[in-house]
Each structure stands twice: as C-alpha cells, then as structure tokens.
Amino acid sequence: MLSLLGLFLVKGRPAAGQDLPTAAPTGEEVPPGAAEDSEAEGSDTLVADRPEVEAEDAVAEPETAEPELETPEPVGTRLARLRARLVKSNNIFGKSLLALLSQDKIDDDVWDEIEETLLTADLGADSTFELVETLRERVKVEGSKDPERVKALLREELIKLVDPEFDRKLNVDTPGRPSVVLVVGVNGVGKTTTVGKLARVMVAEDKDVILGAADTFRAAAAEQLTTWGSRVGVPTISSDVEGADPASVAFEAVDKAVEDEYDVVMVDTAGRLQNKANLMDELGKVKRVIEKKSEVDEVLLVLDATTGQNGLNQAKVFSEVVDVTGIVLTKLDGTARGGIVVAIQKQLGVPVKLIGLGEGPDDLAPFETESFVDALLEE
Ligand SMILES: Nc1nc2c(ncn2[C@@H]2O[C@H](COP(=O)(O)OP(=O)(O)OP(=O)(O)O)[C@@H](O)[C@H]2O)c(=O)[nH]1
C-alpha cells in the first residue's frame, strides 16, 4: 500500500550524512519554515525507508558524524520566556487600561475609553459591553476608588470571561492506541509550525510521535514538516506525488502509527479558505477516511491572532466541517489583540488550548486562563 501511493516514511533518526539544519544556539532560532526553503530545495531529504548501513559496509565511507538531535527547551524556562513575551506584546493594552482605572474620578468618559480599549483588544462588542457594565456596577456598589482594588475587580471579571471552566488539556492520552490529532486552518496561519512545535513538546514528555504530511499541494510543505520532525527524531509520512490525495497520506500515517504502536500521530493539512466549498469537502473527507482506521481525538483549528475578527468566520465554517475540539492561537507575540480568545471561545464553545508566541521552535505554550489574564494586566 505504501509503495502504491508513492508514500515516504522519513526516518526521524537521520541516516548518517543526511543533511539536517543545525540547532541555532539560543534566542532567535531559525524555524524550518520559509527561510530555509531555498536551502532545502534540491536537497534529497525524502528517503523511502532507507536501509540502515551495515557497519562492515561502511568501512570505505568517509566518516561522517551523525547530526545531533535537538533537545527541546525544558518546560520551566520555555513558559517563563513565553510569558514575558506575552506581557511585552500586550503592554499597551494593560498599561492603558490600568491607567484609566487608576484615575481619581472614573466618569462616563473614562468608562467609554475603557470600552474602546477593550474593543481594540478584539474582545468583541458583546463581551466588552458586558464586562464594562459589570465592572461599573461593582465599582459603584463597593464605592472603592483604590486602583489596586479596581484592578482586582477587572482581573476577576476578565478571568470569568476567559472561562477557567474549560478543559484545555490536549486529548493525547489514549492508552492502547495512538492518539490522533488533526490540524486544520486557512493558509499561512502557522499549522505546520504548530505541528512541529507540538511534536517537540511531546518528545520532551517522552511520547513516541509520528507526523503525517497531508498538505500535498505544496512540495515544500511536506519538506518543512519533515525537517521539523527530524530535528527531534520524529518520523514523517509524506507522498512524493505532488497533489496526491491528502486523505490517503493521512490514512497511511494513522495506519503506521497503529501498526508501530506510536503514542501520538499528528496530521498536518493544507491551508484552505473557508469559503472554498470543494476544499472544505476535501477536509471533511480527510477526517472521514482517518476514522476508518481510528477515532480522531483532537481537531485543532489554528487561527492567526493578528487577523482579528476574521478568525471568527473561519472558526465557524471549519467547525461545521470537522468538529473542532481546540483552538491554537498563533502570532500572539505580534499583537495586543489577546481579547480574541474570548470572542472565539464564545462563538465556538471550544477552548483555546495552545498559543503561539514566536517563530522559534519552542515558542508554543499551553493556554492558562489566569496567567493569560495576568499577562494582559501586567504593567
Ligand atoms: N511571530 C510568529 N510567527 C509564527 C507563529 N506561528 C507561525 N508563525 C510563522 O507563520 C508563517 C507561516 O507558518 P506555517 O506553519 O508555514 O503556516 P501554515 O498554516 O502551515 O501555511 P500553509 O501550509 O501555507 O497554509 C511562518 O513564517 C511561521 O514562522 C507564531 O506564533 N508567531
């Protein structure tokens, strides 16, 4: 079956001499994305079940050191680093909101400005009006003008809006079979990058992960995913036929995961606009075909936070087609529009589970209500 479809399993642990990008030391690490495409072009990275070279066969070969696998950043430093980044990108929002609430006299004009600030942060009209109403009422009832107290009230109300009751844990613990994660979204939102980052998080948790490159439109997309995986020893199933049926690739990846008892299989899909009916049908088919082999445990919709309310339309249509179970909000490092979290959750009834905070390989964090709100309100 594998050979019929022209599918490739690229070994996670690279064969000797295979050209892998090296790890940048720290800080601005280079993701295996667009920047590296030119380098990857023409390189022979797809290897079909390349047989291991026997030790005695290798004697004539010049010695080449096996490239080192990267070690994903430990969870502690990763989260502290990303939290600081979230605070930085929302600095304007937090600062202006707290300045407004610290005024001696919080009159109608100040409340209007508060409303405007919340709207600018993409909280959405309904939630903004609701929040301001509640806050006005509480400030009036308490009669407190102490900025610290007002800040505490705002924090409480924001936490309620973001909703601490949601179960935000990824459903990737399914004893006895691999957990299946399908990743969907429009073009360029960060799907492949997210799959790559998430694979690293799982590797750090000692999970055996395999990837499926069901983005068969762009040859570079499979290469990009394969590179992400091979940096941390994670294999990728892909097709050598451009435009191959994405459902077949997805099926083969899940089939392989079941056969070889992986813990998690993550399937990356091609970007598609939600208003292209044929492409949305194709996505529905990808999911249905996977389901012939296994349950799908997580359908992650990746949304770009910088596109604001536009993400809401995408969320609605994708959810109708593939029953989204979690949102990944990317590019929160470049925007002070964190309020979109509230709007999306409200519209879909589905929690934001992960946030992307940069292009680096370890720039992905689980979404935590309280620390998110605290980061928004930090001065
Ligand atoms: N600043 C920032 N950039 C990000 C983040 N996530 C992804 N990107 C960048 O967004 C760009 C697109 O990412 P991809 O992962 O290729 O997006 P995609 O959704 O797979 O794209 P298509 O397959 O073309 O639909 C890349 O340059 C990524 O580095 C993030 O959290 N922050």
| CA distances, 202 to each of 52, 211, 213 (Å) | 26, 12, 18
Cα separation of 290 and 337, whole Å?
35
Cα 189 to averaged position of ligand 1 atoms, centre (Å)? 5
Q: Is residue 238 part of a domain?
A: yes
Structural domain boundaries enclosing 291: 6-11+74-379
Q: Is residue 288 part of a domain?
A: yes
Q: Is residue 196 part of a domain?
A: yes
Pairing of β 209-214 and β 298-304: unpaired
Q: Is residue 199 part of a domain?
A: yes
Choice from 38, 193, 314, 355 to test ligand 1 binding pocket (greatest atom count within 8 A of CB) = 193
| CA distances, 326 to each of 147, 322, 323, 356, 370 (Å) | 36, 11, 9, 14, 18
Cβ–ligand 1 distance for 361 under 6 Å, the answer no
CATH number at residue 329: 3.40.50.300
Q: Is residue 217 part of a domain?
A: yes
Residue nearest to atom 10 of ligand 1 (CA): 190
Cβ–ligand 1 distance for 189 under 6 Å, the answer yes
Q: Is residue 67 part of a domain?
A: no
Overall number of domains in the chain: 1
Q: Is residue 185 part of a domain?
A: yes
Per-residue tens of pLDDT for the chain, all 379 residues? 444 445 667 655 333 333 322 233 333 444 454 333 333 333 332 322 323 434 334 344 445 556 688 999 988 889 889 998 888 887 777 888 888 888 878 889 989 999 999 998 888 899 999 999 999 999 889 887 788 888 899 999 999 999 999 999 999 999 999 999 999 999 999 999 999 999 999 999 999 999 999 999 887 999 999 999 999 999 999 998 878 999 999 999 999 999 999 999 999 998 888 788 888 999 999 999 999 999 999 999 999 998 877 888 888 899 999 999 999 999 999 888 888 899 899 988 999 999 999 999 999 999 999 989 998 888 7
Choice from 36, 236, 359 to test ligand 1 binding pocket (greatest atom count within 8 A of CB) = 359
Q: Is residue 45 part of a domain?
A: no
Cβ–ligand 1 distance for 271 under 6 Å, the answer yes
User: Which ipTM did the prediction report?
Assistant: 0.98
